[in-house]
Amino acid sequence: MKKVAVTGGIGTGKTTVSKLFEKIGIPVFNSDEIAKELMHNDKQLQAEIIKVFGDESYINNELNRAYLSDVVFNDEALLDKINSIVHPYVAKEFNQWLLNQKSDYILYESAIIFENNSEDIFDKIICVIAPEEDVISRVMKRNNFSRNKVISIINNQLPDQIKRKKSDYIVENINKSDLTEKIMEIHNMIIG
């Protein structure tokens, strides 16, 4: 079974692309969703986060996403630290999930494939990109973030031109009607 990563910056449309693959029967592991779930429910992971980021990381046993987001997206070292804490838990879940899959290939959706140096575990990498202004407006609307916060997050991510060079396929998320056609094209190449 081939392992294919779907990556791209915040708000580029990774989940939209992944859902189009799901519609044609391809199993998708959404690492961001799994990470959030684990950060909410795994007591050992919670303890590790609190040890590094303090008691403010959780309020009434609920992840304080606003606090953590403000802390890590303003400090690259702390962003790397939270990723290094959470990533092994997500990797364990992924390996368990893989055991139950029967498809020709699966998708692993993650914004930080290259930042985590995990590109080598995938057979192919799909990078989703979108115009910066589209990204900014999507994330402002979806996450209720200020324009400056979104720009700060974008500036802490690996630039698109580097992701493009490291990826096997590029999906430009500009026009939704073109996306389905592009997904089918990539699907046919992967199974080809």
Give the chain's domains with CATH numbers.
1-27+104-192 (3.40.50.300), 34-100 (no CATH)
Confidence of residue 114 (pLDDT cuts 50, 70, 90): very high
pLDDT for 149: 87
- Cα–Cα dist 74/5, whole Å: 27
pLDDT for 79: 86
Would you say residue 153 has pLDDT above 90? no
pLDDT for 53: 95
Cα R_g (the chain), whole angstroms: 17
Would you say residue 34 has pLDDT above 90? yes
Would you say residue 175 has pLDDT above 90? no
Q: Which pair of structure tokens corresponds to residue 65?
A: 């996403």
pLDDT for 35: 95
β-pair partners for 128? 171
Would you say residue 64 has pLDDT above 80? yes
Kindly state the average pLDDT of the residues 107-135: 94
Kindly state the average pLDDT of the residues 26-36: 96
Contact predicate 190/124, CB 8 Å: yes
Confidence of residue 156 (pLDDT cuts 50, 70, 90): confident
Confidence of residue 33 (pLDDT cuts 50, 70, 90): very high
As a whole number, the mean pLDDT across the chain is 93
Kindly state the average pLDDT of the residues 71-78: 83
Confidence of residue 115 (pLDDT cuts 50, 70, 90): confident
- Cα–Cα dist 51/81, whole Å: 12
- Cα–Cα dist 63/75, whole Å: 19
Would you say residue 73 has pLDDT above 80? no
Would you say residue 68 has pLDDT above 80? yes
Q: What is the DSSP letter of 87?
A: H
Kindly state the average pLDDT of the residues 149-153: 88
Q: How far apart are the first and last CA of the chain?
A: 13
